[in-house]
Amino acid sequence: MESIIKLGQGEDTRIYYEELEAYGTKYFTSFDVKNRWSAQDLTTLDNLPYIGRLSPLHTDLFVATGYRKWGMTGGTNAGIILANVIVHGSDEFESVFLPSRVHADPSIRHFLKENLNVASELIKGKVSPDEQSINSLKNDEGAAVHYQGKKAGAYRDNDGQIFIVDTTCTHIGCEVGWNKGDRTWDCPCHGSRFSYSGDVLEGPAKEPLPLLSHEKTTT
């Protein structure tokens, strides 16, 4: 069965890299890790991609998303459908993937469940305790901290530089959490990702996290 782990809601993200490395070392000779990376798999309410006109009111805007790991086949399918819609005005499978489609069951239940999850994460982020002090951070370590009377996020790089950001996501205000595996601030509500200095790496957030401080410290 497929295991779904939402961004910002799972365990220490380094575990997944370590498990992959252990698997590679076990089954392949001369296995050496050069780089690590991760990505999000976007899904829809009914698990079919959204492909086609955005809505009846926005017929000149086209959408292609929600492939659930099947980007190569889904993207090819999207290209065919969108090309037919734009050039010929329609495609025989357009109604199947229409972004404005609504299925009462299970889409509505899934929609309500997801929004309850967002509300839960929003509240949890506001009341969760701070993790540690800024001075206790080791090199290449990040955490939620208390800074100038408010909750913030701090990361100390390998040169001892401290980057302190406002941890309130600029999308709808959820509190981002530190991703140890990718050194990013991740939002558990809608999946926005920010660099340790606050830059937007992945939406839906459009604005960066405010950088509250950037200074060299000694330990």
Where residue 198 sits, what CATH number does that domain have?
2.102.10.10
0.75 cut: is pTM over it?
no
Cα–Cα dist 44/46, whole Å: 6
Is residue 35 a part of any domain in this protein? Answer: no
Query: Range of 195's domain?
Result: 130-216
Residue 173 lies in a domain: yes
The length of the chain in residues reads 219
pLDDT at 40: 76
Task: Name which residue leads in pLDDT, 106 or 205.
Answer: 205
Q: Is residue 54 part of a domain?
A: no
pLDDT tens track for 124-179: 555 566 667 888 899 999 998 988 888 899 999 999 999 999 999 999 888 898 98
Residue 3 lies in a domain: no
**pLDDT(83) > 90:** yes
Closest CA to 93 of 136, 132, 48, 147: 48
Tell whether 174 is covered by a domain.
yes
Number of independent structural domains in the chain:
1
CA angle 49, 40, 130 (to 5 degrees): 135
